[in-house]
A and B are shown apart, each in its own frame.
Chain A
Amino acid sequence: MTDRVLTFIDEKPAEPGKRTDEVLVGISPAFADFFSQTITGMSHADVVRQILAGIEEQEVSARIVRIRHSSDLAVVAHTAAKLSGSGIAIGLLSRGTTMIHQRDLPRLSSLELFPQSPLMTLETYRQVGSNAAQYAKGESPEPVPTLNDQMARPRWQAKAALLHLKETEQIVKGAKPVEVVPQFAEALAN
């Protein structure tokens, strides 16, 4: 069994996109960096790979930007949306919480929000990518069904809080978003 490893290369300042057929994926400061997996232990490499696959299947292009000045999902997603040529972006936190945002929306709103990170699966991430790409094309996708588990809160809240604190520690004040290129490698599992 091999594990996939994700590294980001070719870091450069993020520019606003000119193509209307692109979706931006905004990742939080510690994503696939300080952290390498989500709250449930899903590899960040697999998460990003599925999101990009969902976008690619819709024949829409994708760019990844790292937001460094905030660990707030709304800020991450909205900042990316404002850089997106189509106005559509996916925001992604290290622990797995996700949303699809649009640049004209108020920051605290969203097109689709997946607030319970422990319930996310790779299939959900694939659908998130697919839906974001369909929004970019002006289509009307069915919103991805969101799960709600009453027990998720008591079970995961402490860990989520801790992960959030750690992520917040990785913030670089006033740092501008940077565009990165994902590079996947297979590594032997320990």
Chain B
Amino acid sequence: MPDQRPSIRIACASGFSGDRTDGAAPVVAELAAGGGGTLIFETLAERTLALAQLSRDADPERGYEPLLDDLVSPVLGDCLAHDISIVSNFGAANPPAAARRIAAIASEQNLPAPRIAIVTGDALNNPEQREMLHAQVGIDVAPEAIVSATAYLGAREIAEALTQGAQVVVAGRVADPALTVGPAMAHFGWSWNDWPRLGRATMAGHMLECGTQVTGGYFAVPGLKDVPDLDRTGFPIVTLDADGGFEIGKPAGTGGRVDCAIAKEQLLYEVHDPAAYLTPDVIADISQARIEQVGVDRVRVAGISGHARPDTLKVNICYRGGWLAEAEISYAGHQAESRARLAGEIVQRRIGAALKLRIDLVGSLSVFGDDAGRMAASHHASEARDIRLRVAAAHEDRHVAERVLREVTALYCCGPAGGGGVRTSIRQRLNMVSTTIDRAAVRCAWHFLDEAHA
């Protein structure tokens, strides 16, 4: 007999650090009208956490999502008033500071002090952990070049905090679907080895975690795949039932669309083997998934299963890499591409073997091309009349990389006719390597902001 417990509604109002910040109000209004739910914000791409760590290194009270205030301030009062818990990884490299900031926002708005929980243990900073990772990765990265090493935690700490009454849960690195699996586990109390239900909740989280990518964002091709009102796309709301089946919708009156084609693109987004989508809590299996339209802007996803979770946790290690130099100049009018190509050849000859250059002809051939220029070599100059030449190279030594900037700038006088609009930039790369770590070596935990903890 199917489980009869009432379903839970979970909405996502951010799909990455830098996403729109005005998506929360409409989903909160919809959740409030339905008697509550959970609001999640996903703000951590692979490198975001390392950038946050650099920010924390510079200021011990920073290192959390820079747009935290913009995300939380407009909706905190309504969430607390309408039994909507907030769960997010916006703690980034400094969850305690993010929690303190949210407490301060509540105080500034004269709201009752929320119960804020902090998830810890994702940062692998102690010497034994670092040694273990170093032995495992086998790459030549100097310890001092490492900016951050973090494990992807699962949903258990989030679920426990919510069960104990947390109204806001602030995490750093957790697997993106854990933001959804945590509230689902707190709500339904499934067993932690109920792999099929964990698999379904995980994929509900997967559908939510990129925000509007499941409600019409990142889909439109004018004339072929049109989507209405992308300037005010609604963020997604999932309704998850006690067996883990779920429907996806969006707030009334918002832009975008929810349909099978869009949902299928998001279901497969960043998936490799559909029968084995690895997360800390379960290996989800979407090989038999199906999607059907069940209403206007509403689809149902079924057929998902799951298998026993992996023994290890995924770890991302970010470290300082070489210097990336980029410089651009535009050529327009007759023979625009030929002039841009000539300019690229001039730069290449002057720099010679000192740097491996990538040459882009933006407006004719750029992002499709390969770094080695094989595709560009097989393609004749087009008739394009407005081309932007981009020259890029990377080098360990900043001064060597800077030659790209100088040689492209010098094209103003020394290059082909009519070049203009030079822009140059140089920045240090943040490189990343992924590995795994034994669960036993990671000390995941959680505590309330107002509690002392070891």
Q: Do A and B come from one complex?
A: no
Residues in A lying within 8 Å of B, measured CB to CB: none
Residues in B lying within 8 Å of A, measured CB to CB: none
